């Protein structure tokens, strides 16, 4: 079980984590929350409908990590628009789609990250040192979403665009300042892969 998820009877998953691993995942989840930011209704916390009916942004985020987490719906990096009119049509469709969906996507990503933090805090409160984290099926889905978002965020920072980039990162020298991020990216990928296998079993 160390380093990978295993299925639990009746659904869900379990993984053994030590103190350092718990600290790393929690820290990354907190950073992800800070990056995603509060919802659009945060300025009016006394109005529970404020976020529900707030329009989302219509332009892609400036930050490359947020662009990876919230990509344009109508862009195709492998196929350039045939004309300026088609490019403008794609932009307009993407803006409209983003306006109506990004708030919900952000809320879902925040909830997944919070789910990871809550489960790790409960694990830390239950005992000292490392322990076995046991997740329900719903908590496992939250973890899967958060692990995916964390890998997308780190991959964007490392400028990973395809599998060849990952192969190059394996060969980075130890003194390369990107090495800790690469190790986190690969480790989270292993966790994600075993969690997917567990949920499909």
* 7 beta partners: 13
Asked if 50 and 44 touch (Cβ cutoff 8 Å), the reply is yes
pLDDT value of position 1:
42
In a domain, 159, yes or no: yes
- Cα atoms in the Cβ-side hemisphere of radius 13 Å centred on 5: 32
Distance CA 83, CA 185 (A): 38
pLDDT value of position 76:
62
Q: Is 135 helix (H, G, I), strand (E, B) or coil?
A: strand
Q: What is the pTM of this model?
A: 0.81
Query: Which position has the token pair 């966790």?
Result: 191
| Percent share of the chain, pLDDT over 70 | 77
User: In the predicted model, is pLDDT for residue 193 greater than 90?
Assistant: yes
104-156: pLDDT as tens digits: 888 999 999 999 999 999 988 776 566 899 999 999 999 999 999 999 999 99
Kindly list the distances between the CA atom of residue 67 and the CA atoms of 43, 170, 179, in Å, as whole numbers in the listed order.
24, 25, 23
57-77: pLDDT as tens digits: 667 678 889 888 888 776 665
In a domain, 158, yes or no: yes
Residue 175: which domain range? Answer: 6-200
In a domain, 51, yes or no: yes
pLDDT value of position 175:
86
Confidence of residue 87 (pLDDT cuts 50, 70, 90): low
- Distance in Å from the first CA to the final CA of the chain: 16
CA Rg value for the chain:
19
> Is 101 or 195 the better-scoring residue by pLDDT?
195
11-44: pLDDT as tens digits: 899 999 988 999 999 999 999 999 998 765 555 4
Asked if 130 and 3 touch (Cβ cutoff 8 Å), the reply is no
When divided into structural domains, the chain yields a total of 1
In a domain, 1, yes or no: no
């Amino acid at each position: 079980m160390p380093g990978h998820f295993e299925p639990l009877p009746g659904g869900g998953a379990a993984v053994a984590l030590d103190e350092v691993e718990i600290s790393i995942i929690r820290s990354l989840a907190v950073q992800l929350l800070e990056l995603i930011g509060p919802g659009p209704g945060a300025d009016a916390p006394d109005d529970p409908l404020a976020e529900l009916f707030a329009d989302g942004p219509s332009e892609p985020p400036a930050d490359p990590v947020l662009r990876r987490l919230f990509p344009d719906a109508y862009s195709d990096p492998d196929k350039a628009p045939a004309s300026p009119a088609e490019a403008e049509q794609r932009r307009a469709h993407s803006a409209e789609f983003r306006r109506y969906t990004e708030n919900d996507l952000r809320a879902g990503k925040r909830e997944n990250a919070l789910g990871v933090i809550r489960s790790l805090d409960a694990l830390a409160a239950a005992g000292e040192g490392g322990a076995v984290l046991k997740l329900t099926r719903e908590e496992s889905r939250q973890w899967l979403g958060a692990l995916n978002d964390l890998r997308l965020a780190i991959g964007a920072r490392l400028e990973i665009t395809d599998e060849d980039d990952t192969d190059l990162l394996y060969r980075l020298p130890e003194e390369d300042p990107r090495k800790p991020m690469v190790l986190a990216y690969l480790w989270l990928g292993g966790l994600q892969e075993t969690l997917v296998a567990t949920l499909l079993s």
